[in-house]
Amino acid sequence: MDNVEFAGEYSNTDRKMIEDNLGTIASTPYGSAPYARDIGVHRIALPTQYAKNEYASELIAQAEEWEDRAEVTQVDVDNNGKVKVVIADVGN
């Protein structure tokens, strides 16, 4: 994951694991993971704002499904395809 911003208190271990898990979700083509065909995002070209919004929505939904330690509240994609994810304080 290019950039993950955490609100609230998370241990360094949790931060690293959450970043790694979100990175895996974001880089896995949907349906390609053995034994977990429901994980990943559809390959979406990101030149338009609509496509960026679709990608952000899908990443938020996937994070909600697969990463229960964190609540993704925002995903921003810049014009170069770099992704920033904001994690809410979930009272850890």
Encode pLDDT of 8-62 as tens digits. 788 999 999 999 999 999 888 998 988 988 999 887 776 788 888 888 899 999 9
Quote the pLDDT of residue 43: 75
Give the mean model confidence (pLDDT) for residues 65-71: 90
Residue 91's pLDDT band (boundaries 50, 70, 90)? low
Helical spans, DSSP H, in the chain: 12-27, 49-66
pTM equals 0.83
Residue type, 62: Q
Tell me the C-alpha distance between 62 and 57, whole Å.
9
Answer whether residue 92 shows pLDDT above 60: no
| Rounded CA Rg of the chain | 13
Quote the pLDDT of residue 21: 92
3-state secondary structure of 6: strand
Quote the pLDDT of residue 33: 87
